[in-house]
Copies of this chain bind each other. A is one copy, B any other.
């Protein structure tokens, strides 16, 4: 929790600054924000950042690594609601009930930056653009969720898997990672759960895509060889 002064782990010089909470703020404003945050807390692979039911007091931004969020239904069913990459925020859904309504689990050794929600709302009053940009962050999450509703509600299995790969590719690309060589951090079961499919179905479809020379599958390393065709698959209703 303590940050060595020598580390200078400030938002201002963070590589993901413009994709994260400080996006659009000037240096002065970023400094104000920065001082309210705990930076680069390490979370081990498989560890829970928070869990369902836990009292909410802080939001998190992923600095490095990736997470999955999962809601559990009373009857034991679970649904993975998203895979989050660097720069994305965790805990937004907890604001409404002041308790976390999902589990956030690290898919690999990761680091997160933490800010108390009270601090954030205070800053929102002081820094006008922050208020608007935080509204945008929340709204963006709504749009994301609704596009998954479209996927789950009206796409066939092949289309879902293709859409998943294309989406991941775009997000990797935005993070200066290869858009064609995807190193998946989640299991086939995770993917299936997220897409409303069984893991066998996901596996079969990946094999089929490989056979059609759209992708190359070596376990969790997926190489996209024909993006255009893959994008077409997502549209082939």
Complex contact B149–A145 (CB within 8 A): yes
Classify the secondary structure of A's interface with B. helix
**Segment with Cβ contacts to B, from A11-19, A30-38, A68-76:** A68-76
| A92 CB within 8 Å of chain B | yes
**Binary interface encoding of chain A residues 116-141 relative to chain B, with 1 for a CB under 8 A from any of its CBs, else 0:** 00000100110010011011111111
- Chain B residues, Cβ within 8 Å of A101: 143, 146
Complex contact A135–B95 (CB within 8 A): yes
Q: How many residues of A contact B (CB 8 A)?
A: 50
- Chain B residues, Cβ within 8 Å of A135: 95, 121, 134-135, 138
A65 to B218, CA, bound (A): 54
Complex contact A125–B121 (CB within 8 A): no
| A3 CB within 8 Å of chain B | no
| A228 CB within 8 Å of chain B | no
CB-based nearest B residue for A154? B77
Complex contact B77–A143 (CB within 8 A): no
A residues lining the B interface (CB < 8 Å): 71, 73-79, 81, 92-97, 101-102, 121, 124-125, 128, 131-132, 134-143, 145-150, 152-155, 193-196, 235-237
Query: Could you give 15 example pairs across A and B, Cβ below 8 Å?
Result: A71-B146, A73-B154, A73-B235, A75-B237, A79-B150, A93-B143, A101-B143, A121-B132, A124-B131, A125-B131, A141-B142, A142-B142, A153-B194, A153-B195, A154-B193
